[in-house]
Amino acid sequence: MIPKDKQQHLLMGAACAAVLWAIHFAPVWAAVAIGSVLFGVFYEVQQWYRKEGIPDVWDAIATALPGVIVGAILYMKG
């Protein structure tokens, strides 16, 4: 079972990917993939900066993963 914290990061990454896909300021696959990675890193950095939790590389990966997967699929299709 995936821990609840990682599930929340996956959902947050999927939501970020959906928003970036909707506004597509670049090729859709790039906007989704790169935006999700940047959001995952940003979220962990702000957690560290605000001392609101324990920054975790796996949290950043869990946040970025949905966007990277969707971006790769879109790249292969188009």
Q: Is 54 left (phi over 0), alpha (psi -120 to 50) or beta?
A: beta
Domain definitions of the chain by residue range: 24-77
Residue 58, pLDDT score: 92
34 in Cβ contact with 17 (< 8 Å): no
> Model pTM greater than 0.95?
no
Residue 34, pLDDT score: 84
Q: Which of 39, 28, 35, 31 is nearest to 63 (CA)?
A: 39
> What string of pLDDT tens digits covers the 78 residues of the chain?
778 888 888 887 778 777 777 776 668 788 788 888 888 898 889 889 989 888 889 988 988 888 899 889 888 987
